[in-house]
Amino acid sequence: MENERKLTIARAMAEAMAQEMRLDPTVFVMGEDIAQLGGVFGNTRGLADEFGTDRVRDTPISETGFISAAVGAAMDGMRPVVELMFVDFFGVCFDAIYNLMAKNIYFSGGNVRVPMVLMTSTGGGYSDAGQHSQCLYGSFAHLPGMKVVSPSNAYDAKGLMTAAIRDNSPVIYMFHKGLQGMGWLGTEAAANVHVPEDAYEVEIGKAAITREGTDVTIVSIAMGVHHALKAAKVLEAEGISAEVVDLRSLVPLDRDTVRASVRKTGRLIVVDEDYHSYGVSGEIIATVCEAGDITLKAAPRRIAYPDVPIPYARGMEQFCLPNPEKVAAAAREVCRTTVSA
Amino acid sequence: MSNDVRIPEDLYEGDEDSVITAWLASDGARVKQGALIAEIMTAKVQHEMIAPASGILKILKQQDEVVTKGTVIGQIS
């Protein structure tokens, strides 16, 4: 490699937006503190300088207003990228998201498009308590009409953002704060990877086999992928070969890749920083069980967030979060046990 | 010949400590003069570290380490 060019996810997102803005005058960005400050998570840094504040707009704290405005702009031919600063704030603006953004293509009989991206930060681990630390993957993925993606590394972050901006349907782009490369939010160095300078797309709805293995499949998304990879490394030294599937997209969900992996390994662990019940982890387990031709060698397991509001106290929050140790412990158990015929 | 990657005196105002939040090139990777190779954060503001020369990067201070102005965080040879 002539010049290694690692980016943080924050930089990769900004680069994708900048490249699409250069190509397409209908692309614009808006949200709270995204212009002058460059986004509290760094993902819009430099955009206002290059494109000006007509195309990179700071909004008031009025999520219902500016997300609804983006829906209208998208229906009128623009391609807005809008930031909901913390996914936890969805409560005040969900009508705009799931009754307008998600449904207007259907309600118009397919006569209008809603090509917009709603990017929003997820995740905890840095003691920001229960209104700033949730993932809520399942809440968004549950409702039809929106694609939902979440990258685990900078390469996917850029390619998924490019694909999301070019998509003619609304895309929820969830970025985990601990993967942004923003020090104070926690830092995951493995998220910073080499990123090609030229624009490219990562297909929405396609999972990646991040690590190949034969004994157990660990399925996850965003931060959970890094927990899975760290666990896999520990397990390898103990003679357990773990395969890691990075979903990358929750909607559409790449069920084929998940099933193919579990068909091979016969064991399944899902790592999900969203709440345990009624969420992504249950959906993945159902996906495997419904296939009908997969014989599990052990009961499936999920390492998810307990069904409690996220604690502020560091010790309590860390106790609740998924981590590599919990994943490795679950893998040891499923690799020892066998389901009786 | 090797060139120090040193935190410049004018990277940010004040003399407080800062933290390496990201290395954007790997230890042992080839980098080009002028390329962005690291991010340094102080008071929640990120600053860019630029490669002073082309060559092979040797990382001397790791991500999350606390550094100050003048600290040599790597070498390029």
Residues of A engaging B, defined by a Cβ cutoff of 8 Å: 1-8, 42, 181-184, 187, 189, 192
d(CA B43, CA A45): 17
Tens of pLDDT, residues A307-340: 999 999 999 999 999 999 999 999 999 998 655 5
In the prediction, which pLDDT does A2 show?
65
Alpha carbon of B32: minimum distance to chain A alpha carbons (Å): 6
Q: What is the pTM of this model?
A: 0.95
What backbone phi and psi angles, to 5 degrees, belong to A197? -75, -40
HSE-CB at A200 with a 13 A cutoff on CA atoms is 10
**Which domains occur in chain A, in start order?**
6-194 (3.40.50.970), 208-336 (3.40.50.920)
Give the mean pLDDT of A48-74.
98
**pLDDT of A188-220, one tens digit each?**
999 999 999 999 999 999 999 999 999 999 999
Confirm if A318 and A339 have CB atoms less than 8 A apart.
Answer: no
Asked if the Cβ–Cβ distance from B31 to A8 is below 8 Å, we say no
pLDDT at A337: 66
Tokens found for residue A136: 């809520």
Express as a percent the part of chain A with pLDDT over 90: 95
A185 pLDDT above the threshold of 90: no
The predicted pLDDT at position A326 comes to: 98
Q: For residues A316 and A187, which has the higher predicted lDDT (pLDDT)?
A: A316
Specify whether the CB–CB gap between A165 and A81 falls below 8 A.
yes
Alpha-carbon gap, residue B38 to B52, rounded angstroms:
12
Residues of A with catalytic roles: 63, 132
Taking CB atoms and an 8 Å limit, are A189 and B23 in contact across chains?
A: yes
Res A340: pLDDT: 55
Per-residue pLDDT band for A55 (boundaries 50, 70, 90) equals very high
pLDDT digits (tens, 9 = 90+) for A253-278: 999 999 999 999 999 999 999 999 99
Could you report the per-residue pLDDT of A138-172, keeping only the tens digit for each?
999 999 999 999 999 999 999 999 999 999 999 99
- ipTM for the assembly: 0.86
Nearest chain B residue to A12 by CA: give it: B24
Q: Residue A1's pLDDT is what?
A: 60
Interatomic CA distance for residues B29 and B5, integer angstroms: 14
Average pLDDT value over all residues in chain A: 96
Distance CA A261, CA A243 (A): 8
Q: What total of structural domains would you count in chain B?
A: 1
By residue range, what is the domain housing residue B59? 3-76
Instruction: State the best of A1, A2, A6 to mutate against chain B, taking most chain B CBs within 10 Å.
Output: A6
Q: How many residues appear in chain A?
A: 341
CB contact under 8 A, B23 and A1: no
Least confident of A106-115, A153-162, A251-260, B36-45: B36-45
Which residue among A1, A5, A8 places its CB closest to the CB of B22? A8
DSSP 8-state code for residue A322: -
| A66-75 tens-digit pLDDT | 999 999 999 9
Rounded Cα distance between B50 and A290, Å, is 52
Contact assignment for A189 to B22 by CB distance below 8 Å: yes
Res A339: pLDDT: 56
> What's the pLDDT band for B14 if we cut at 50, 70, 90?
confident
CB pairs under 8 A between A and B: 50
| Residue B20: CATH number of its domain | 2.40.50.100
